[in-house]
């Protein structure tokens, strides 16, 4: 049986009910419905860099024993990886890639580039197909041709649901290091976050207005089918 791995934050875990519990496993369930074995490594609250180790560990143990067709990575918020180190969760802090201290946009995008580079190395090591999906944050598409082992498959899940959505690359602005919190530079990101949360109050994010519901997951699943990625 073909296996698909899903990894990400709470957006990859499924549809969340108003009681704070998963009421439908979302993309994973739709994949199982057409015959795939699905391993879901998603975990609420994870940032992109924090996804890397669970994937590598899983492949180290299971790569020889599972017929892995593809890995879907649902991109989380890079700001989550900028929190101070937590000894209880062993969360690693990744600083902004300070290409230019006066250019926050470029710094954020190049921090994502570091993530893509590490993910590309993982895909090369294990010779697997990794497809990136813009989830809570959109993919930085200017890097899509730099990494031969990655497929920038869905630039923005949010835009699949709401085509009018503006690009959003960061949500948890409070985690940005103080030296990067220039109000003038932060304003465009704040505007994008506010615009995105207004969309979350519309269809496909019921009932918590924070995560795609089963309808939102079906939109993503149907799009992956339309791209010809699901061959069962």
Compute the mean pLDDT over every residue in the chain, rounded to the nearest whole number.
Answer: 92
170 within 8 A of 137, measured Cβ to Cβ = yes
* pLDDT reported for residue 182: 84
20 alpha-carbon distance from chain centroid: 20
Instruction: Write out residues in the chain with pLDDT < 70, as ranges.
Output: 84-93, 98-99, 232
Confidence at residue 96, expressed as pLDDT on a 0 to 100 scale: 79
Strand order in the sheet with 67-75: 37-40, 2-7, 67-75, 130-134, 150-154
Tens-digit pLDDT profile for residues 29-55: 999 999 999 999 999 999 999 999 999
The predicted-structure confidence for 65-78, as pLDDT tens digits, reads as follows 999 999 999 999 99
DSSP state of 57: H
63: helix, strand or coil = coil
Q: What is the pLDDT of residue 88?
A: 46
From the number of C-beta atoms within 10 Å of its C-beta (0-12, 13-18, 19+), residue 228 rates as exposed
Residues whose CB is less than 8 angstroms from the CB of residue 53 and which lie 6 or more positions away in sequence, other chains included: none
Determine the Cα–Cα distance for residues 70 and 9; give it in Å rounded to an integer. 18
pTM (two decimals): 0.94
Q: In this predicted model, what pLDDT tens digit does every residue of 166-192 receive, in sequence order?
A: 999 999 999 888 878 888 889 999 999
């Amino acid at each position: 049986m073909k296996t698909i791995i899903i990894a990400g934050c709470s957006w990859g875990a499924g549809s969340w009910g108003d009681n704070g519990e998963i009421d439908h496993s979302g993309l994973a369930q739709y994949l199982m419905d057409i015959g795939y074995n699905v391993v879901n490594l998603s975990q609420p609250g994870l940032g992109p860099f924090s996804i890397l180790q669970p994937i590598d560990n899983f492949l180290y143990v299971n790569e020889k024993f599972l017929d892995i067709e593809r890995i879907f990575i649902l991109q989380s918020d890079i700001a989550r990886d900028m929190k101070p180190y937590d000894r209880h969760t062993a969360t690693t802090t990744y600083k902004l890639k300070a290409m230019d201290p006066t250019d926050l946009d470029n710094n954020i995008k190049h921090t994502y580039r570091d993530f893509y580079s590490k993910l590309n190395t993982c895909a090369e090591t294990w010779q697997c197909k990794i497809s990136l999906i813009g989830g809570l944050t959109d993919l930085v598409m200017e890097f899509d041709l730099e990494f031969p082992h990655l497929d920038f498959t869905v630039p923005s899940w949010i835009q699949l649901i709401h085509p009018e959505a503006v690009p959003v690359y960061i949500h948890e602005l409070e985690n940005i290091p103080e030296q990067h919190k220039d109000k003038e530079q932060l304003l465009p990101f704040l505007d994008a976050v506010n615009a995105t949360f207004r969309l979350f109050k519309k269809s496909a994010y019921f009932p918590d207005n924070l995560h795609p519901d089963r309808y939102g997951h079906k939109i993503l699943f149907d799009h992956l089918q339309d791209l010809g990625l699901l061959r069962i």
